[in-house]
Amino acid sequence: MRDAIRRGRAQPVRMTAAKAATTDTTVTPTFPRRHALTAGLTLALAAPLWALGGAAHAQDGPYPSKPVTILVGFPPGTATDTVARMLAERLAQRMGQQFIVENKPGAGGSIAAGLGARAKPDGYTLMIGASAPQAINPHVYPNLNYDARKDFAPIGLITWLPYLFVVSADNPAHDLKEFLAAAKARPNQLTYATTGIGTTSHLVTAVLLSKAGASMVHVPYKGSSQAQTDIVGGRTTATFDTMVSSLAMVKSGRLKALAVSTPERVAMLPDVKTVAEQGYPGFDMGAWLGLIAPAGIPPAIQDRLSREMNAVLADTTVRDKLGDLGAQVRTTPTPAAFGAMMKTEYDSWGAIVRDFNVKATD
């Protein structure tokens, strides 16, 4: 099956990776929510000191009384990093303390996730959760040092990320249909770059090639920047990457966008057709980003971070900036709602990984 992925001959799969809701709306899942992360007086008396919320920080003053670190599992310049830095800046303004982004790239975001899972759950180490480390990697990597279902506390959804299929500016294809026809005519002679084995970029491309009956050689990279640079330089042929990471090169004319992964065209590139428009109805894939914390974070801090983040994302200036980058703002009303969405995403992406038999050793 591993070879089938490279050749694009695996059977079509259910593209059930759940999208949170339409752009500009708050997500309120209709499925049962997880148990609320609250504790009664009896449990509070028996709990560790950090579980008492504000009391745990009495010696340091109200939260936050010192800088907060946000771990990002991808390199600078990626969509995750860009969104994290914008969020950190605004949270710092609202909460009166520095929010510092630390990049810990590797293993499709799993290195940062492992560090975050082992961090003290006091609200001073947070993470940007994403489709890859929270919903995909647990099904791809056999020996992760974290449990995506147990080691994290949800705070809130931030954005939905559309994906752009891009090629070099001098590629003769005018749209996705022409490109895939060329790929089918030259089996395994063209290459596609991704941000790593088992990442959203990899799986979205594998699904597309499977549906098209085309076969290309997979070239995994550690991040978006080098992959796109190599496409411009002619060392690889194409990539399906987030609009956030590829939009600047498309606007500058260094890359050419042939398709967008969402069911509707995006406002920033209205002339770029959707995959669905170009012969693959129902194609609707992308990635999500959210804020999470180590499991055990005091509920009072968890709830406050959720409220502050949603207030940041409600700001028209922030929404416009994220929209200009190619990200669609989507929020969840409570941490529990985001936790329910994460569970659905875990199950949905797991089904796709199993259908394609994607393994970390691929």
Residue extents of the structural domains in the chain: 68-160+286-356, 162-278
What's the pLDDT tens digit per position in 250-305? 999 999 999 999 999 998 999 999 999 999 999 999 999 999 999 999 999 999 99
List the structure tokens of 30.
């209709």
Of the two residues 55 and 154, the one the predictor is more confident about is: 154
Residue 31 pLDDT > 60: no
Which residues are CB-neighbours of 155 under 8 A, at least 6 positions away?
126, 290, 291, 292, 293, 302, 305, 306, 309, 335, 338
| 103 phi and psi angles, rounded to 5 deg | -85, 125
d(C-alpha 135, C-alpha 229), whole Å:
28
φ/ψ region of 196 (left if φ > 0, alpha if ψ in -120 to 50, else beta) reads left
Backbone angles phi, psi at 344, to 5 degrees: -65, -40
Q: What are the residue ranges of helices labelled H in 217-359?
A: 224-232, 243-252, 299-314, 316-325, 335-356
Question: pLDDT averaged over the chain?
Answer: 84
Average pLDDT of span 224-246: 94
332 HSE (CA, 13 A, CB side): 28
Q: Collect contacts of 178-182 with beta carbons under 8 A, ≥24 apart.
A: 179/238, 179/258, 180/212, 180/214
Q: Tokens for 95, please give them.
A: 């909460």
Quick check: helix, strand or coil at residue 189? coil
Q: Are 227 and 194 in contact (CB under 8 A)?
A: yes
Query: What is the dihedral angle through the alpha carbons of 118, 121, 126, 127, rounded to the nearest 10 degrees?
Result: 40
DSSP-derived secondary structure letter, 32: P
Which residue has better confidence, 341 or 76?
341
Q: Which two tokens stand for residue 342?
A: 């994460």
**Three-state SS at 158:** strand
Q: What count of other Cβ atoms lies within 10 Å of the Cβ of residue 198? A: 27
Of 165, 340, 167, 325, the residue nearest 260 (C-alpha)? 165
Matching fold, domains 68-160+286-356 and 162-278: yes
CB neighbourhood size of 178 (10 A):
14
> What pLDDT score was predicted for residue 222?
79
Range from 14-18, 36-40, 91-95, 201-205 carrying the lowest mean pLDDT: 36-40
> Is a pLDDT exceeding 50 seen at residue 19?
no
pLDDT at 361: 62
Indicate if the pLDDT at residue 34 is higher than 50: no
Query: Do the beta carbons of residue 113 and residue 96 sit within 8 Å?
Result: no
pTM of the model: 0.75
Instruction: Report pLDDT digits (tens) over 210-221.
Output: 999 999 999 998
Task: Residue 141: count other Cβ atoms within 10 Å of its Cβ.
Answer: 18
Could you read off the pLDDT of 64-109 as tens digits, one per residue? 999 999 999 988 878 889 899 999 999 999 999 999 999 999 887 8
| Six token digits for residue 16 | 């059930």
- The distance between the two most distant Cα atoms of the chain, rounded to a whole number of Å, is 69
Q: What is the CATH number of domain 162-278?
A: 3.40.190.10
CATH (residue range 68-160+286-356):
3.40.190.150
